[in-house]
Amino acid sequence: MSVTPANHKFATRTIDVAEFFKIVLLSLFTLLWLVPVFAAFITSFRTMDDITLRGFWSWPEALSVTNFIKAWGAARVGKYLLNSFIITLPSLAGMIFLSSLAAYALARFRFKGNMLVYFTFVAGTMLPFQILMLPVFRLTNTLGLYDTYGALILIHTAFQLGFCTFVLRNFMRTIPQDIMDAARVDGCGEFRIYWQIVLPLTVPSLAALATLEFTWVFNDYLWAIILLRSDALRPVTAGLATLRGQYNTDWPVITAGALLATIPTLFVFVFLQRYFIQGLTLGSGK
């Protein structure tokens, strides 16, 4: 009997060593991952002179939030952020509503061409949309949408419909058919089944999609520079690029701007991470 406790003790100690080793390794990598962000964070509180004179690794002379105030106001990051929301939120509403309708049709109705339409949506998730930039630019010009919020909203909606429909369709197929059959027997119309039964049951994956798509649309840069010309309409990504030209020598201000611009998506990421990850997992077609 006297051997067992010692053995036991030994066993738990080796496990601890293994875990300790893992934690050390993991800490090293996470620190490595944080280095660029940390560098930017520190810089945004310093002045350009302080850094150029004394170098990056010097102890900061003084820390202040002046750069953030300047970035928010004079450099218009506050205004750009508002534009990002004006573009992102309607795009989200549009893509989620329209794709939930399409997904309902694909998941619940049996009809000729169901698979064909479904695979068209799936193909749409993989197409590199940049290849459409010139025709889309010309199209928005013809439609009188060039240089409006509407152009970006429509484009983001159109481009994300494939992915959203794909995810929602697969989720809706897991809802038991009996629920809908029961409603039908009770004389519930098809649209009411969609709106009052299926949609509420789909809320978890709607939330997952919304957080994922929020980040994607909010962080879009390419389409913002292709479809907008006015500085007043620019979302924060395009705005930051403009800042880079204007404040080229004042890194701390640009960096403060970049950090401010990251707050909304970081907020979504920190507080809705569970949904974000769920969205990614659903989207990978599992």
Partner 1 sequence: MTLSIMKQGRWTPFLYLLPALVIMFIFIIYPMANTFVLSFMDKTGTQSAAVDCMPGEPCWGVLENYRYALTSSDMLTALRNNASWLLLMVPGTVLAGLFFAVLADRVRYEALAKSIIFMPMAISFIGAGIIWRFVFALESGGGQQIGILNAIIVGLGGQPVAWLSTPAINNYALMVVGVWLWSGFCMTILSAAIKAVPTEILEAARVDGANEWDVFIQIMLPMIMPTIVVVTTTMVINVLKIFDIVYVMTGGNFGTEVIANRMFNLIVTDTGRSMAIAIILVLLTVPIMIFNMVRFRQQEAMR
How many Cβ atoms from other residues are within 10 Å of residue 119's Cβ?
A: 11
Q: Which of residues 65-94 bind partner 1 (CB under 8 A)?
A: none
- Calpha distance 128→121 (Å, rounded): 14
Please identify which residue in 19, 49, 61, 231 interacts with partner 1, judged by CB under 8 A.
Answer: 19
The answer to the question of residue 277 lying near partner 1 (CB under 8 A) is yes
CB of 187 to partner 1, least distance (A): 11
The answer to the question of residue 15 lying near partner 1 (CB under 8 A) is no
- For partner 1, the closer of residues 4 and 14 by Cβ is 14
Please identify which residue in 106, 198, 206, 209 interacts with partner 1, judged by CB under 8 A.
Answer: 106
HSE, side-chain direction, 13 A CA sphere, residue 270: 6
Q: Which of residues 21-40 bind partner 1 (CB under 8 A)?
A: 22-23, 25-27, 29-30, 33-37, 39-40
- Calpha distance 127→111 (Å, rounded): 26
Please identify which residue in 101, 197, 201, 207 interacts with partner 1, judged by CB under 8 A.
Answer: 101
In the stretch 184-213, what mask flags binding to partner 1 with x, by CB under 8 A? x-----x---x-------------------
Q: Where are the alpha helices (DSSP H) in the chain?
A: 3-43, 48-54, 66-72, 77-108, 114-126, 133-142, 149-172, 177-185, 190-192, 199-218, 222-227, 236-246, 251-271, 273-283
Please identify which residue in 7, 109, 187, 249 interacts with partner 1, judged by CB under 8 A.
Answer: 109
CA distances for 263 relative to 147, 167, 218, 270, 276, angstroms: 26, 27, 11, 10, 16
Q: Which of residues 129-158 bind partner 1 (CB under 8 A)?
A: 129-136, 138-139, 154-155, 157-158
- Calpha distance 132→160 (Å, rounded): 14
- For partner 1, the closer of residues 1 and 135 by Cβ is 135
Rg (CA), the chain: 25
The answer to the question of residue 12 lying near partner 1 (CB under 8 A) is no
- For partner 1, the closer of residues 1 and 123 by Cβ is 123
How many Cβ atoms from other residues are within 10 Å of residue 122's Cβ?
A: 15
